[in-house]
Structure 1
């Protein structure tokens, strides 16, 4: 084993890299003390001279009384009691040393610049879609209920489901929901890095709310040092404003192929000094083997970060799991701190398209009602635009993957897309365009949101090659509109009036395309701008406004128009208000009852 360890060049290089990072951070902290002179170092220790305010002998005694040992160098040849040496240790231990030095040099600049740091806890998962986002939202709401100032944080999110803040910054929708659970306005610091896949091997990179470019995996890994700096600054800024920060990981910390470049799981937990709760989805099976297996592949320092396990999405009697929990405790030394039941129809926006593509958005109405079909585009984005329909009692929602599945609905929605050119090719080659045209001819309403709106027009031009090598592609030609895909991305919040119904609409726009302006726009916004086009009959229409169906009055008007076309009497009143508060309260109540909150509070030290 010793020989093999000496040959592990990758581990040695990573160790030197980590040591350099920790040394640089520690030197920066120590340079804030005017009483100290820190000498340059390339090793895992620092040589320091006390210029004023004390001596090494007294300082060593002071530190020892606080369980920290430093090397007094007064017995070195040529040195006196003003010199001492310290080791570069873990981030947590380095911060403890700096805190003790601030106590010893109470008038130092270091004392003046210290910032209060929030308590923290992190939820990581055994896999994607294990429920990390929902559990994070639950704890945010519980802490808010208990009077704690709390904020969510996820260093890096990979999602096509994004949101625009009031400041015009783009961030992941999951952290928006978590911010709402904490009764906060969404802030891009809560999700400083957003990856939006636009091909099988590349993504658009959003850093601190703004796009910095499209990158392949290798290009992004080379760019990560800059990204990590932005992540740390965002976290530190939040941690200085709140009592608690609840962090969320991504995927699984046990993915050994990704650990070397990790910035969102254990590396982030270490930076935030956050104990980790590992969340597992028992509904998909293998949860206990995942707990034990992940602990086996973690490095020793990572295992020390794990404080316990949480079983999520359980259907049944929790007491039947006792023997399994004892087994996990025996093999890992950690407790299972709770078993959260499966929550059907929770009513909170989904994090990404995993659940969407599994069919969780399919809803069947009871009695008379209308049917809306949503085309599952390969690069679908912001699919949560249709979530407000899910609780409507007279609406059936179906997600379709094949043209023959469309049937005879009252409406077809073409949703947003991260690669409109590719997805338009898909509609044509897969036979969707032909089938949608047949439905249109039989009176079906055709709706396009953002990318789907661009597809409805005559042509899409991509002169800069943002999405494709194709300079232009003919659209479906259902509305009189052309689109040019530009380099700059539009990020803005909007509110205004839907011109046909007279109802209020609101939401946000995220798009590179600029579409030709209609003399009779569909939407007229409060700032004087306009958006959207409808056909002469008004039954084919589109716009850029994500969230247009969130407004209860407009959504009911839209459903009633479909009802009228299907031969049903319009309802004329709101049946299902789209309000997340009830869902947050239900979620928080469920988690309180099924998780040992005393353990979480002890871990938070509050």
Structure 2
């Protein structure tokens, strides 16, 4: 078996590469083909726990975008689909994850010296996927025409050449200048790579596509490349953006029954796991970066402290903004607060770091917990059942959940506070804790489990109606591209 490789390149970040790759994965899977996604290098703090593959034991991390692409392809996600993951820890430093495992050596290797070291395992991962599948749908990164990066490229042109990929080039027409972006990107490519571009895709178009004439025809005269799809603006597709970004538009025609405010600290991670909440009719998600963003919340609204790539620094930022008092105030009024992973750690009394992993810091003091950081990183898939849950989160009682853990540090009850009479409910052993019957009366819940809102049982328990499933989302993406691509284009791309 030797796969045909189809690659989605973009004129810039945010052009639409990730969701188009996901849509193509589901389209080709629906044709009865064995499909796998691939992205050589991803930079994101949104990661998922997957299999190591090739008979290797244990689990590893890949970017969330490739995880969803694998599910769309009806394939088991594994680390080969995103062999290199960069997780930013500061403005000038990223943790490097190679084939699912953190590499301290690569994390301290200068950027331009890294390419030659990581290319062999990247190429081997791609070759293995090509050998095992009918189609490999490859996602590029940023733009392939960044002339200052071409010499060290391991994610765009080098991959396209290695895979002999047939490429689409997508641009965001809503930003303006789309035809210039397409032509300029094509013109900056070496002639042999220009030949790989099989079609241009205009994404996020508003209005009548007939008004674009004669620009697509003129562009084809200049380049020899046809415009094969004009994709209308579609923000309700239900797939998380690659960086987890969302806006505050409800899917219920403006009728909002609950607001969920997510604290958007600088090193926020795994934000994509909240997309299922956005898909629930009547739920509005919003960023909270200042106390003013929480000022208008009702008792029925939620505040979520999400994961963090650097808990102590994000906790310091939260305090600098005055959000610590705003979160506590919401809870005192009877509002619900949820902390996930790093957010759970922030809710406790203290962060203790004797190994220089994350930093020491006093917690928010909303749960009588202490977190001790350690060098070993927990990377596991987890299935558990909520015990008896009280107050605002009582609907979760007895609900079985499946998710994943990615964290440094272990958390347990603050022994002195518990001995002094503090009440803490451990509602999932070692995984989730809830405030007792004192000041907050069960309003505060913290858990290490990511992916909570991707469990249909959780959504049903909390909202009484099931939100669209991921399968519904993937099929909707495939329907969309099948409707808007020119006839036979997708078939020709995958033809032998």
TM-score norm. by structure 2 comes to 0.89
Shift of 1:199: 0.5
Does the alignment pair 1:164 with 2:49?
yes
Inter-partner Cα distance in structure 2 for 1:137 and 1:476:
39
Shift of 1:139: 1.3
Task: Tell me the secondary structure at the aligned position of residue 587 of structure 1.
Answer: helix
* Matching residue within 532, 537, 548 for 2:432: 532
1:11-410 alignment, distance < 5 Å: 116-166=1-51, 167-213=58-104, 219-353=110-244, 355-356=245-246, 359=247, 369-407=257-295, 408-409=297-298, 410=301
Shift of 1:505: 1.4
Task: Tell me the secondary structure at the aligned position of residue 347 of structure 1.
Answer: coil
- The structure with the largest alpha-carbon Rg is 1
Inter-partner Cα distance in structure 2 for 1:202 and 1:301:
35
Q: Deviation digits for residues 51-108 of structure 1, max 9, x if unmatched?
A: xxxxxxxxxxxxxxxxxxxxxxxxxxxxxxxxxxxxxxxxxxxxxxxxxxxxxxxxxx
The aligned counterpart of 1:605 is 495
Shift of 1:556: 4.2
Shift of 1:390: 1.4
Q: Deviation digits for residues 547-581 of structure 1, max 9, x if unmatched?
A: 1122233334445xxxxxxxxxxxxx3x2334112
CA pair 494-597 structure 1, distance change in 2 beyond 3 A: farther
The aligned counterpart of 2:55 is none
CA pair 465-371 structure 1, distance change in 2 beyond 3 A: same
1:446-485 alignment, distance < 5 Å: 446-467=337-358, 470=359, 472-485=360-373
Inter-partner Cα distance in structure 2 for 1:422 and 1:284:
34
Inter-partner Cα distance in structure 2 for 1:520 and 1:292:
60
Task: Tell me the secondary structure at the aligned position of residue 392 of structure 1.
Answer: coil
Inter-partner Cα distance in structure 1 for 2:67 and 2:107:
27
Does the alignment pair 1:516 with 2:412?
yes
CA contact (8 A) 1:365 1:395 kept: no
The aligned counterpart of 2:485 is 595
Task: Tell me the secondary structure at the aligned position of residue 521 of structure 1.
Answer: strand
CA pair 601-210 structure 1, distance change in 2 beyond 3 A: same
Structure 1 moving runs of 4+ over 4 Å = 214-218, 360-368, 517-520
CA pair 186-477 structure 1, distance change in 2 beyond 3 A: same
Q: Deviation digits for residues 187-209 of structure 1, max 9, x if unmatched?
A: 11111111111100111111111
The aligned counterpart of 1:422 is 313
Inter-partner Cα distance in structure 2 for 1:360 and 1:247:
31
Inter-partner Cα distance in structure 2 for 1:178 and 1:550:
15
1:481-500 alignment, distance < 5 Å: 481-499=369-387, 500=389
Q: Deviation digits for residues 236-290 of structure 1, max 9, x if unmatched?
A: 1111110111111000112222222110000110011102211111122211110
Shift of 1:597: 4.9
The aligned counterpart of 1:109 is none
CA contact (8 A) 1:204 1:214 kept: no
Shift of 1:449: 0.3
Task: Tell me the secondary structure at the aligned position of residue 516 of structure 1.
Answer: strand
CA contact (8 A) 2:8 2:168 kept: yes
Q: Deviation digits for residues 173-223 of structure 1, max 9, x if unmatched?
A: 111111111111111111111111110011111111111128668624323
Shift of 1:159: 0.9
Shift of 1:440: 2.1
The aligned counterpart of 2:393 is none
Inter-partner Cα distance in structure 2 for 1:380 and 1:578:
25
Task: Tell me the secondary structure at the aligned position of residue 577 of structure 1.
Answer: coil
Task: Tell me the secondary structure at the aligned position of residue 175 of structure 1.
Answer: helix
CA pair 365-597 structure 1, distance change in 2 beyond 3 A: closer
CA pair 367-338 structure 1, distance change in 2 beyond 3 A: closer
* Matching residue within 461, 467, 471 for 1:577: 467
CA pair 491-517 structure 1, distance change in 2 beyond 3 A: farther
Q: Deviation digits for residues 328-369 of structure 1, max 9, x if unmatched?
A: 11222211111112223111222114x33xx25766786673
CA contact (8 A) 2:83 2:100 kept: yes
> How many residue pairs align between the two structures?
466
Give the unaligned 5+ runs of structure 1.
1-115, 525-529, 560-572
Inter-partner Cα distance in structure 1 for 2:284 and 2:172:
28
CA pair 362-202 structure 1, distance change in 2 beyond 3 A: farther
Give the unaligned 5+ runs of structure 2.
52-57, 390-396, 415-423
CA pair 180-361 structure 1, distance change in 2 beyond 3 A: farther
Q: Deviation digits for residues 383-416 of structure 1, max 9, x if unmatched?
A: 1222221132343322222221112242210011
* Matching residue within 545, 553, 570 for 2:449: 545
Shift of 1:135: 1.1
CA contact (8 A) 1:482 1:516 kept: yes
Task: Tell me the secondary structure at the aligned position of residue 377 of structure 2.
Answer: strand
Inter-partner Cα distance in structure 2 for 1:340 and 1:320:
14
